[in-house]
Chain A
Amino acid sequence: GAVVSQHPSRVICKSGTSVKIECRSLDFQATTMFWYRQFPKKSLMLMATSNEGSKATYEQGVEKDKFLINHASLTLSTLTVTSAHPEDSSFYICSASSGSAADTQYFGPGTRLTVL
């Protein structure tokens, strides 16, 4: 099946710094990528949808200036957590899709962010 990678898998940073997470589709072109956040023992919450070459669409309650998303190519999307604070600590997962049906979304392995 299609493979989606995320880098880094884990990151620990100091409060106030910015962290960039990469999401890559390795063997297919992803016209749409999604970014999710998962709190412990909670469901995955969709943060934003990004289409290649256009601005991301953020879900209600997600600060777009806090979580910068760039989808510069058909195989790469990045999520930058700016001026990170401890409450931003979470598990971030991306997914990528090339199709038109919901079941063609392929998920990355996730990135564990810890902000000290």
Chain B
Amino acid sequence: DQQVKQNSPSLSVQEGRISILNCDYTNSMFDYFLWYKKYPAEGPTFLISISSIKDKNEDGRFTVFLNKSAKHLSLHIVPSQPGDSAVYFCAASRTDSWGKLQFGAGTQVVVTP
């Protein structure tokens, strides 16, 4: 039962352009959402998060948008840089089960020069 879905397995974007990664979830009890970045042979590293009481959170080049009615969130990276090439995972959790993260399958981002 995949409660968090990333339907785009890969994304190619030109350096300097915007990368938009999408994530959908089915469990309306999720109230905290996170994005992780993963390089090969390394564990996921935390990028940015958003609570369900917000609809936007920004941190430098990274912005996460949350649309609760659509059960959809997106990660915007602008401008994209070659070092952003990695796999990005969307994750969701519930406050009452803190720490238990449900992950999407990931989106491989390739930033081309």
Contact = CB atoms under 8 A, between A and B. Distances in A.
Interface stretch (A11-19, A38-46, A79-87): A38-46
B105 A41 contact: yes
Contacts of B9: 41
Interface residues of A, number: 27
B4 A43 contact: yes
Contacts, number: 63
Interface in A19-42: 32, 34, 36, 41-42
11 contacts: A6-B43, A32-B99, A34-B99, A43-B2, A43-B103, A45-B103, A49-B100, A102-B49, A103-B49, A105-B99, A109-B42
Interface of A: 1, 4, 6, 9, 32, 34, 36, 41-46, 49, 93, 95, 97, 100-103, 105-110
Interface of B: 2, 4, 9, 32, 34, 36, 41-46, 49, 89, 91, 93, 98-106
